[in-house]
Structure 1
Amino acid sequence: MDEECSAFIDRDGDFMEVMCCDYGFRSGASRMYQQENDGRIPKNAFQLGWDNFKSELRSLRQSIRFDDYSTISEANPPRTPMSRAAYSVGQAALDSLDAVDRALEAAQVLEPLRPRAVTLDGVTRDSESGSKLINNCAEIRSKLKQLKLSNKAMWDREHAREQSGRGVETPWLIKGVYLSLCLLLDFLYENRPIQRFWFLETVARMPYFSYISMLHLYESLGWWRAGAELRKIHFAEEWNELHHLQIMESLGGDQLWFDRFAAQHAAILYYWILLGLYVFSPRLAYNFSELIEYHAVDTYGEFVDANEELLKSLPPPLVAAVYYRSQDLYMFDSFQTSQPMQNPRRPSCKTLYDVFKNICDDEMEHVKTMKACQDETVSQDIITRREDGPRVGL
């Protein structure tokens, strides 16, 4: 990173202040809109897998040896005898793994482990600008740690929505799976909202990937050829969720090894489950996605309301500024099937508050599209948008 913040000029020619630092585990080459890395061709799968294994093994060892999991206990101190007992068991397990790792390192089975670098790449405190940048990044990181999300308030919000007649009708089996997933998230990510959002966005891409896969398969088999426009919409939805994911990564949501392990394995499992569900009933697959997206609306809505003042004091990440304020909004417009082409959404993105408000509104657009896919009004939406403008369809 240079010793100056990145500058971004939006589509109106206005200068936008963006975050100087990227707090994600996968920063640099893995972040979108890093021009020197766009369009690079990957290595073969074996090399990619081996490189990732080495990186994650090192991160796992560091998480054990350097007490990364203390951040979870700090956010959720034990308050009951059962929770204190659970924390004691967890600490004993970490101590045992620490001893095993040190023994394997001493036996030269594992390479010596070095502490993580605490300075930014290419930035030192030797210069006034470098010191100022590091202090700025530390201040923003401190504010990000103050963000809160109440599980109770979130569920109250969801129940109020359902009681107002805006609930989602769904079979009991789908509802049971949905509630189980939500309760798991409540347990794993209590008082860790950014990490929770990163988990959600990692998983949120999978439905659209699975729908595209099935529609493409049906086309290839010659079974169904009317899904081309639908595939384009689902790709635009996945592209939207990808940007949400990158935003959460840039805020540090993927820093902890356990969170990456849980989210990535859950995403793979979720993908295959939805493939199977789509085989038997596309409507049920869309119904489940509608449930998840509505939960995201409630979650982000509660988060924005609870942290409004703090969020308004923080600048947006670069990836958010580019997605919401650049010239090219073709993909942004494409996933919003209910939005009129003559009056498209053009949200502001001046602060982190705007970013999360935009994400909440994006999730509401996903809800509308998933509902339209169940009652087939999406077909009329496609026709209407094609007639209103040349960007969709022909």
Structure 2
Amino acid sequence: MRPATLPNKQLLQQRSHASLRAATARGPLRVWAVAQVPKGPTQQDEPKAPIEAPVAAPSKPPSVRGTVFFTSSLDSVSTDDECSAFIDRDGDFVEVMCCDYGFRTGASRMYSKDADGRIPRTAFQLAWSNFQEELLALRQSFRFDDFASIAEANPPRTVLGRAAYGLGQAVVDGFGALDRALEKGQVLEKLHPRPLTVDVNGDGTKLINECKAIRSKLKQLKLSNQAVWDREHARERAGQAVETPWFIKGVYLSLCVLLDVLFNNRPIQRFWFLETVARMPYFSYISVLHLYESFGWWRAGAELRKIHFAEEWNELHHLQIMESLGGDKLWFDRFCALHAAVVYYWILLALYVFSPELAYNFSELIEAHAVDTYGEFVDANEELLKSLPPPLVAAMYYRSQDLYMFDSFQTSQPLKNPRRPPCKNLHDVFCNIRDDELEHVKTMRACQDATVQQDIVNRREDGPRIGL
């Protein structure tokens, strides 16, 4: 990121003032913050400049409270530790989601001061810590019946379905009774009631009510499995089908059916599963390319490694967005997704060793399915999504100043005319994710027919000339 000079800092403040005034015109607004701009060699001792914002009438409560994040820095000052706001690279004010509904929050969320650059502990310490967390979550899932939320989203409609649900409830009750017995015998620690299930920047009553209201809206989001299949078939009839061998197609269809069964009427959880698995191919490709370089077999994969890392970085942000919306909340969903991801990694690694073209072909199938799924979701929930703010991680990824990794995975996009999507609400976020997946489709297709080589050359020619 280029160090900001004094005029740039003043320009940021002026734009921020204009954006805040515009937001105030739409309703009461009160934001105070101190922006920490990256220091260049000429401004080491320059004091922080406060940004003055219009103050609403005292009788009206502020619509935005708390930390304001600037794209130039995460060193922000909290006003009353209740909520977060964001000012993007154009100086526009963006109200972001106040709460994080995921299982992993705080230091596990990107762009957290506690997370960036932390060195991991030993593998044994990490494994033991994770085991303790997941064991506690597993016990809670039986004692507090997390599976009831799945049953609520998918009530049984047949005699066989009711019988299966009855059997499942008996299993849950049985494990719950076993846990209470082990707890009574002091084999397991006492299980305390669950704390508040949202991670908030403060404990104000108004904020908690706001978080509950947003969570209630998130539960109203719908996705029809049949509508997704209809969209995919329409794409194929339009001549945009992904040509693939029958055995690859069979594995793909099996995965799609599994998603339909496990995550019916649970779209956010489905998306979180998809994004967890979607990162694995790029890990596999990078691992094999790195191995080939280490053996001295193949040195032409450096640019591919960079592209695949940028693709994984993109999927990581999708994953973090779904986590912040609560996609990883249930122990059962995490168990399925993380185990599937490990298996998927090794399968794709072996497939890439055997045939890179087939590995890329399978990834193209998965990414095309993601485009159809997100496209249907956006169309079916447009009004509701537009009423919800974006998570902070989405605003940071799509509207910050550093877009190098964002541009790198879109090999078909000319650098002279890059994508710069908006991120004003959750509808924008899911539209951006849908379009990201389409870029993955293009890149995977280009990797199969070697046009990615020409794309790399074209982007290099469009870029800046060093030394000229």
Tell me the TM-score range normalised by the shorter chain: over 0.9
Residue in 1 that maps onto 2:38:
none
**Partner AA of 1:171 in structure 2:** P
**Partner AA of 1:11 in structure 2:** R
Could you list the per-position Cα deviations for residues 301-356 of structure 1 after superposition, in whole angstroms to 9, with x for gaps in the alignment? 00000000000000000000000000000000000000011000000000000000
Question: 1:72: Cα distance to partner?
Answer: 0.5
Please say which of residues 108-117 and 238-247 is displaced more in the overlay. Answer: 108-117
Q: Secondary structure at the match of 1:147?
A: coil
The one of 377, 390, 394 equivalent to 1:316 is 390
Gap runs ≥5 in structure 1: none
Report the identity percentage: 79
Residue in 2 that maps onto 1:7:
85
Residue in 2 that maps onto 1:89:
167
The one of 17, 21, 26 equivalent to 2:104 is 26
Question: 1:37: Cα distance to partner?
Answer: 2.4
Could you list the per-position Cα deviations for residues 238-263 of structure 1 after superposition, in whole angstroms to 9, with x for gaps in the alignment? 00000000000000000000000000
Residue in 2 that maps onto 1:352:
426
Residue in 2 that maps onto 1:284:
358
Question: 1:4: Cα distance to partner?
Answer: 2.0
Question: 1:121: Cα distance to partner?
Answer: 5.7
Q: Secondary structure at the match of 2:99?
A: coil
Could you list the per-position Cα deviations for residues 207-242 of structure 1 after superposition, in whole angstroms to 9, with x for gaps in the alignment? 000000000001111111100000000000000000
Q: Does the 8 Å CA contact 2:446/2:452 hold for their aligned counterparts? A: yes
User: Residues of 2 paired with 1:72 and 1:317: CA distance?
Assistant: 24
Residue in 2 that maps onto 1:46:
124
Question: 1:124: Cα distance to partner?
Answer: 6.8
Q: Secondary structure at the match of 1:316?
A: coil
**Partner AA of 2:171 in structure 1:** A
* 1:173-322 correspondence to structure 2 within 5 Å: 173-322=247-396
TM-score, normalising length from structure 1?
0.96
Q: Does the 8 Å CA contact 1:119/1:134 hold for their aligned counterparts? A: no
Q: Does the 8 Å CA contact 1:341/1:385 hold for their aligned counterparts? A: yes
The one of 176, 182, 194 equivalent to 1:98 is 176
Question: 1:15: Cα distance to partner?
Answer: 1.1
User: Residues of 1 paired with 2:201 and 2:279: CA distance?
Assistant: 34
Residue in 2 that maps onto 1:382:
456
Residue in 2 that maps onto 1:118:
196
Change (3 A) 1:152 1:40: same
Q: Secondary structure at the match of 2:235?
A: helix
Larger Rg, first or second structure (1 or 2): 2
Q: Does the 8 Å CA contact 1:330/1:391 hold for their aligned counterparts? A: no
1:160 aligns with 2:238: no
Q: Does the 8 Å CA contact 2:259/2:270 hold for their aligned counterparts? A: yes
> Which one has the bigger helix percentage?
1
**Partner AA of 1:250 in structure 2:** S
List, as ranges, runs of 4+ consecutive aligned residues in structure 1 with deviation greater than 4 Å.
Answer: 119-125
User: Residues of 2 paired with 1:146 and 1:91: CA distance?
Assistant: 25
**Partner AA of 1:350 in structure 2:** K
Gap runs ≥5 in structure 2: 1-65, 67-79
User: Residues of 2 paired with 1:391 and 1:196: CA distance?
Assistant: 44
Question: 1:123: Cα distance to partner?
Answer: 6.6
Over the aligned positions, Cα root-mean-square deviation in angstroms equals 1.4
Question: 1:391: Cα distance to partner?
Answer: 9.6
User: Residues of 2 paired with 1:185 and 1:139: CA distance?
Assistant: 28
User: Residues of 2 paired with 1:135 and 1:80: CA distance?
Assistant: 38
Q: Does the 8 Å CA contact 2:107/2:113 hold for their aligned counterparts? A: no
Q: Does the 8 Å CA contact 1:25/1:249 hold for their aligned counterparts? A: yes
User: Residues of 1 paired with 2:362 and 2:343: CA distance?
Assistant: 15
TM-score, normalising length from structure 2?
0.81
Change (3 A) 1:348 1:81: same
Q: Does the 8 Å CA contact 1:124/1:131 hold for their aligned counterparts? A: no
Residue in 2 that maps onto 1:60:
138
User: Residues of 1 paired with 2:247 and 2:390: CA distance?
Assistant: 39
Q: Secondary structure at the match of 1:16?
A: strand
**Partner AA of 1:175 in structure 2:** K
Q: Does the 8 Å CA contact 2:97/2:389 hold for their aligned counterparts? A: yes
Question: 1:36: Cα distance to partner?
Answer: 3.2
Change (3 A) 1:293 1:123: closer
Q: Does the 8 Å CA contact 1:324/1:348 hold for their aligned counterparts? A: yes
Could you list the per-position Cα deviations for residues 251-310 of structure 1 after superposition, in whole angstroms to 9, with x for gaps in the alignment? 000000000000000000000000110111000000000000000000000000000000
Change (3 A) 1:111 1:171: same
Could you list the per-position Cα deviations for residues 69-123 of structure 1 after superposition, in whole angstroms to 9, with x for gaps in the alignment? 1110110100011111110110011111111111111111100001111275677
